Structure 1
Amino acid sequence: MKDILQEIKVEGTFNFRELGGYETASGCRVKKGTLFRSGNLSRLTEEGIEVFKGLGVKNICDLRDLDEVTKHPDPEMEGVQWHHISLIQDEEVVRQPGDLNHFEHKLLNSKPGEMLMSLNRKLVSNTKGFRKIFQVLLDSPGEPMLFHCMAGKDRTGSFAALLLSLLEVPREIIEEDYLMTNNVLDEIEAGFEAIGHTLPDVIDKEIVAALYEARIEYIRELFNEIEYQYDTVDSYLRNGIGLTEKEIELIKEYYLE
């Protein structure tokens, strides 16, 4: 299904991979070397930055909230334009493992996975945020773009799912792409520890594991909420996010081969 290296090693970050190579329902493929996704970039080393530059990325869409960006800013890189597009603007939502230290009250009656089910439902409401990311693609025809959050899983995964859906990649492949995060869980955990996000032992280990892992029910909850509100993903792209037929065709023209 996918004739590419699943993960790209970039020193100082994790969960870094591209979407190129996926086959669409019409027999086209997503162009290689154009669409990248990752976790937190704040600890990129000089060597990592050189690898990053070698990929030719021209735009970075940082999907984190302002507090995360302030604490762990992306490095500035010559020739790369940075766009801050927050996808979650709810202070009561647990976004990533580091948030658990601040939401002990949420853990008392929480079930493992429940917080990320809620997160994926809430993501659907940020149509303006998703529109801004698609606009970056439209304003930079065919230029390589990277989008990321902290773990590179749910906020990042939600946009990847929408973009691949627009490009007519089958749902089972989109789910497979989401689950690839599970191949690098050790790297993700080490990355969070490196920025001081260690969790107290009193937090239920099952809740912690559920927050790190990519579980199929999380990405399906995103699609379920979209289909509940808009009937289809195509309707959501058009009537929720506001993409026109011409814009959808342009994105396909830019990023399919």
Structure 2
Amino acid sequence: MTTTGLYSQTVPLKGALNFRDMGGLVTVDGRKVRSGIIYRAGDLSGLTTDDIAQLSKQKIKYIFDYRREDEANEKPDPEIGSAKLLRVPVIAEDNIAEQVSKVKKKEDVFKHYTKETFLTLYSTFPVRNASYQALMNLLKEPEKNLPLIHHCAGGRDRTGIGAMIILLTLGVPFSTVMEDYLYSNVALATFHEQMFLQAEAALVEEEFLQLKAAFLLQEEYLLATKSAIEEIYGDFDTYLYLEFGITNEIRKKIKDFCLQE
């Protein structure tokens, strides 16, 4: 694994997209997130036999999937040891992003990816969302449910918000969370470039430039998530309690399990 100090450790798997160990990040009290207990990732359907064998040694207990049913059916998660598969989609039927998913023409899909769309998604996803509630219910009993892998298609947007919630719960400063979030632009550079090539062929120049300016991860997106939480709940501690039922006592238990000196 490659340790960066500012973002998650990249796990060298041949068939995984943006697969990272969230261990190693430093909290405000000087402790570090333990390695080998929480992984973040994109699509797992391409994992090789060797990849699966490597991950099986980690005794993964849950694979938590943020994707919609159609995404999961098209690229199903593989079995990794005795890990349980739990899929709770972030995107509900009446969500704006669901409308994007129903657009059939590729060029029309590309046109939907605007900054305004991303800002809307990032500000609505973390509030009263059954997916993140299910994720944090697992984290409430870390001794029972970890290690786990949480993932979506690219491991950047839905997973990025989930990672933010987990890391802030553990006491990692928001500045580090942001660095970790933005690192997906590096980890997904090839993936993004391939998508941009497809988009350039399907869109007129103005539309393509709009897409390119909006699609890469940027600070204002995750800041929209943070701002939405603070606007509705006042602060993150209150959000943890009212959204997930995580008391100070439960949070201490999570930290004691997930952190090391």
TM-score, with structure 1 as normaliser: 0.85
Q: Read off the aligned partner of 2:73 and give its amino acid letter.
A: T
Deviation at 1:42, TM superposition (A): 1.3
Return 5+ residue gaps in structure 1 as ranges.
none
- Among all aligned residue pairs of Structure 1 and Structure 2, give the percentage whose two residues are the same amino acid: 26
Q: Secondary structure at the match of 2:224?
A: helix
**Cα distance between partner residues in 2 of 1:17 and 1:140:** 19
The answer on whether the counterparts of 1:128 and 1:241 sit within 8 Å (CA) in structure 2 is: no
Deviation at 1:167, TM superposition (A): 0.8
Aligned to 2:169: 166
Aligned to 2:131: 129
Q: Secondary structure at the match of 2:10?
A: coil
Q: Secondary structure at the match of 1:82?
A: strand
Is 2:66 the counterpart of 1:60?
no
**Cα distance between partner residues in 2 of 1:40 and 1:85:** 15
Q: Secondary structure at the match of 2:202?
A: coil
Counterparts of 1:62-211 in structure 2, within 5 Å, are 62-90=65-93, 92-94=95-97, 112-141=114-143, 143-189=146-192, 199=199, 201-202=202-203, 204-210=207-213
**Cα distance between partner residues in 1 of 2:168 and 2:151:** 18
Deviates more, 1:75-84 or 1:150-159: 75-84
**Cα distance between partner residues in 1 of 2:216 and 2:90:** 20
Give deviations 1:14-52, integer Å, cap 9, x for gaps: 111111111111111111111110001112121221232
Change (3 A) 1:255 1:238: same
Deviation at 1:55, TM superposition (A): 3.4
Deviation at 1:139, TM superposition (A): 3.7
The answer on whether the counterparts of 1:185 and 1:213 sit within 8 Å (CA) in structure 2 is: no
Q: Read off the aligned partner of 1:202 and give its amino acid letter.
A: L
Change (3 A) 1:190 1:56: farther
Return 5+ residue gaps in structure 2 as ranges.
none
Give deviations 1:83-117, integer Å, cap 9, x for gaps: 1121121455337x977755866876x68422211
The answer on whether the counterparts of 1:181 and 1:213 sit within 8 Å (CA) in structure 2 is: no
Deviates more, 1:150-159 or 1:183-192: 183-192
The answer on whether the counterparts of 1:12 and 1:43 sit within 8 Å (CA) in structure 2 is: yes
Q: Secondary structure at the match of 2:139?
A: helix
TM-score, with structure 2 as normaliser: 0.84
Report the count of equivalent residues. Answer: 252
RMSD: 3.0
**Cα distance between partner residues in 1 of 2:65 and 2:17:** 15
Is 2:32 the counterpart of 1:29?
yes
Change (3 A) 1:243 1:36: same
**Cα distance between partner residues in 2 of 1:43 and 1:192:** 18
Q: Read off the aligned partner of 1:10 and give its amino acid letter.
A: L
Q: Read off the aligned partner of 2:122 and give its amino acid letter.
A: N
The answer on whether the counterparts of 1:88 and 1:126 sit within 8 Å (CA) in structure 2 is: no
